[in-house]
Amino acid sequence: MKQNLKDLTLPELETYFERLGEKRYRAKQVFRWLYQGVDSFDEMSDISIALREKLKEHAEITVLKIVERKISKQDGTRKYLFELSDGNMIESVFMKYKYGNSICISSQAGCRMGCIFCASGKDGLARNLSVGEMVDQILKVEQDAGEKINHVVIMGTGEPFDNYGNMSSFIKIINDKHGLHIGMRNITVSTCGIIPKISAFAEDFPQVNLAISLHASNDAERKKIMPIANKYSFDELLITCQKYTDKTGRRITFEYTLIAGKNDDIKHAEELASKLQGLLCHVNLIPMNEVSELEVKASSKPKVQQFLKKLQEKHIAATVRRELGSDIDAACGQLRLSKITL
Ligand code: SAH
């Protein structure tokens, strides 16, 4: 099988070139071309024709195919549907903020976490994305939108900590100054709370922002909406978060999607505030986006405001997330594996 060059970090590409009997610095030249968005060896003009031919024989540069794009009239958000080489579909969302352009990328085709309010997990996991498939979401969106992306959130379809190895190489490539040169602090990873990987992440990427989907104020309630809570308890999760902040000195973002009648009562806000007291964190309240096939309903606006007020009263830093792209089903939880939503 041919080696997809976009799956390799720069040190890995250098080793690969050595194995092909080539000089390491050639790897850097090729790496630069790849992340300038070049998809064919023939466009790599400072690489000899002989080496290009050799690369064609042993390696390949796979690319994602844009199947469909939707552009929000409300705020310019763009949602992309990509087809992978095996026919699976994934989505990415491009968003414009005052501070720059951001992309929300997928880490898996489908998801096996099964959170009851999320459309991405409805059909289970198809497979992990390769490193190249993750990077290519950025390259293709930059090309299509004609704009540079400077913030990356791994918050699309999939659980990034369920694909930890590929996620790690992805972060290294986009951070590399010869790659996309996106600062570690401009990258955010969102997880449903896979504890061993949170600890590994604190060691491996202390500068990358960590967001944790909490969505409940205690263990029993969390188990009702997030199956992962059966594996890792609420208390264990918060202990791990404390260790994370002790080690990294970085604030954790807790995502809390407000679901009518499940987790949006004032008593939940009080309980949450007491559990998070003293932890270096920020709570991001997410008004739930209703997904037609799912039973759960969104909390009302006054409920959301009341929840926010209670957290703030208890001195917990909290904000309500502004939803972009809701007119094109691009908001959280609305990314779907299948083409039918488009
Ligand atoms: N698996 C990761 C990342 C993908 S989900 C995680 O769990 O964090 C990204 C965020 O969108 C999570 O906080 C998730 O809970 C939230 N989300 C999922 N479905 C939603 C919905 N219907 N409405 C609002 N937010 C939702």
Q: Cβ–Cβ contacts within 10 Å for residue 53, how many? A: 11
pLDDT in tens, the chain (342 residues): 999 999 999 999 999 999 999 999 999 999 999 999 999 999 999 999 999 999 999 999 989 999 999 998 888 899 999 999 999 999 999 999 888 999 999 999 999 999 999 988 888 999 999 999 999 999 999 999 999 999 999 999 999 999 999 999 999 999 999 999 999 999 999 999 999 999 999 999 999 999 999 999 999 999 999 999 999 999 999 999 999 999 999 999 999 999 999 999 999 999 999 999 999 999 999 999 888 888 899 999 999 999 999 999 999 999 998 877 777 776 665 665 444 343
268-305 in b/e form (b: 16+ CB < 10 A) is bbbbbbebbeeebbebbbbbbbebeebebebbeeebbe
Q: What share of the chain is helix, strand, coil (3-state, %, to 5)?
A: 40, 20, 40
Helix (H, G, I), strand (E, B) or coil at 249: coil
> Which residues does a 6 A CB cutoff place in the pocket of ligand 1?
113, 115, 117-118, 155, 159, 190-192, 213, 255, 257, 286, 288-289, 291, 332-333
Enter the tokens of residue 162. 């369920």
Nearest to 9 by CA among 35, 43, 44: 35
Q: How far is CA 331 from the centre of its chain?
A: 13
**Ligand 1 atom closest to Cα of residue 291:** 22
d(CA 26, CA 15) in angstroms, rounded, equals 11
Please say if 104 is a catalytic residue.
no
Please say if 91 is a catalytic residue.
yes
DSSP single-letter state for residue 259? B
Q: Cβ–Cβ contacts within 10 Å for residue 339, how many? A: 11
pTM of the full structure = 0.95
